[in-house]
Amino acid sequence: MCLVCGEVSAQEESGDIVLGAVGDIATTQLPSGNQVRNQYDDVAQLAMGLGLDGLLTLGDAQHNDGTYEDYMAYFDLYFSPLHNMIYPTIGNHDYAMSDSAEGYFTYFADRVSALVGEDEGRLEWGYYSFDIGSWHIVTVNSILGHPWWYWGWNDTSPGAAEAQLAWLEADLAAQDESKGIIVFFHHPRYDWESYYTCNSWGDDETEYLVPYWEVMYEHGVDLVLGGHNHNYMRWAQQDPYGNADPSGPRQLIVGTGGSYTWSFKHNPWPANLEYGVDDSFG
């Protein structure tokens, strides 16, 4: 049974579940003929043609300010047909104009409240989990605990990052070992100094994510999805400290939602980076 539409899909009849995942999607410019900017209409059309059972949006669904007005004027214009199957996570641009990410939580109010329930702490920060098919899927708010807090925004809820991490550990510990597990959030632990990437501001920029990776590693998470970098990267399985490890999660960065692309700037590729694309969307 499809969780978001109430109907049996062709994939589910065959035992398969089809999920899409992409972040960094709309901007405050309408799509045009520019091949490296504002192609989110094509991404929406692609998603609608795949027969998806769910679409994970990996943060920054609306650039650059994430206001409700911008969500309605741009993102919603093309992605509204998919709304009831979107499983969203929050990005840094959602906090650009509001300490509480008001635009994001207003636009996705029905989705977040249905997935989170009545837990006021999680409603405030938007982290949740759900099951679909034989998979358990979890999202966390990667803004919590970030070492420099976007646009001068400060954590107004002491202990929120610790509470989120404790919830993640309890949630993963409760899962049946037969389930596959996906965790998705906006900021990737591993990237590759692509243009304007988070690591370009310091080697410790993603160290705050290590405790999350330690928990995910301990509980056998299979796949970690992130955005933020406006390109695609597929990493080999790694431990929380960047060492190749066949028992660790595989990370995909999918920041190719249509806003604009970032070019890779350095060679050679890191040893654990298997594949990358920096000039197309999808």
* DSSP class of 260: B
Q: Considering the entire predicted model, what is its pTM?
A: 0.91
Structure confidence at residue 200 (pLDDT): 41
* DSSP class of 112: H
Mean pLDDT of the chain: 88
Binned at pLDDT 50, 70 and 90, residue 157 comes out as low
Q: Which residues on neighbouring strands pair with residue 130, listed in sequence order?
A: 137
Q: Which tokens sit at 45? A: 């059309």
Structure confidence at residue 206 (pLDDT): 84
Structure confidence at residue 263 (pLDDT): 87
Secondary structure of residue 185 in the 3-state scheme:
coil
**Region 174-200 average pLDDT:** 79
Backbone angles phi, psi at 110, to 5 degrees: -70, -40
User: Terminus-to-terminus CA distance in the chain, angstroms?
Assistant: 27
Sequence-distant (6+) residues with CB within 8 A of 221 are: 172, 181, 182, 183, 249
| Higher pLDDT, residue 261 or 191 | 261
34 burial (CB, 10 Å; 0-12 / 13-18 / 19+) is: exposed
User: Is 148's pLDDT higher than 70?
Assistant: no
Amino acid at 74: Y
- Asked whether 62 and 258 are in contact (CB, 8 A), the reply is no
Q: How far apart are CA 52 and CA 56, in angstroms?
A: 10
Q: Could you read off the pLDDT of 227-262 as tens digits, one per residue? A: 999 999 999 999 999 999 999 999 999 999 999 998
User: Is 199's pLDDT higher than 50?
Assistant: no
User: Is 201's pLDDT higher than 50?
Assistant: no
Q: How far apart are CA 267 and CA 93, in angstroms?
A: 29
Structure confidence at residue 205 (pLDDT): 72
Structure confidence at residue 198 (pLDDT): 43
Q: How far apart are CA 96 and CA 244, in angstroms?
A: 35
Structure confidence at residue 2 (pLDDT): 34
User: Is 9's pLDDT higher than 80?
Assistant: no
Structure confidence at residue 15 (pLDDT): 65
Is beta strand 19-22 parallel, antiparallel or unpaired with respect to 54-58?
A: parallel
Backbone angles phi, psi at 225, to 5 degrees: -115, 135
| Higher pLDDT, residue 9 or 118 | 118
Secondary structure of residue 219 in the 3-state scheme:
coil
| Higher pLDDT, residue 130 or 198 | 130
Is beta strand 180-184 parallel, antiparallel or unpaired with respect to 135-139?
A: parallel
Q: How far apart are CA 247 and CA 231, in angstroms?
A: 26
Is beta strand 54-58 parallel, antiparallel or unpaired with respect to 223-226?
A: unpaired
From residue 260, alpha-carbon distances to 8, 62, 102, 200, 267 in Å are 36, 12, 24, 18, 22
* DSSP class of 86: E
Amino acid at 263: S
Hey, CA dihedral for 247, 210, 133, 173, is it positive or negative?
A: positive
Q: Could you read off the pLDDT of 13-38 as tens digits, one per residue? A: 556 899 999 999 999 999 988 888 99
Structure confidence at residue 123 (pLDDT): 92
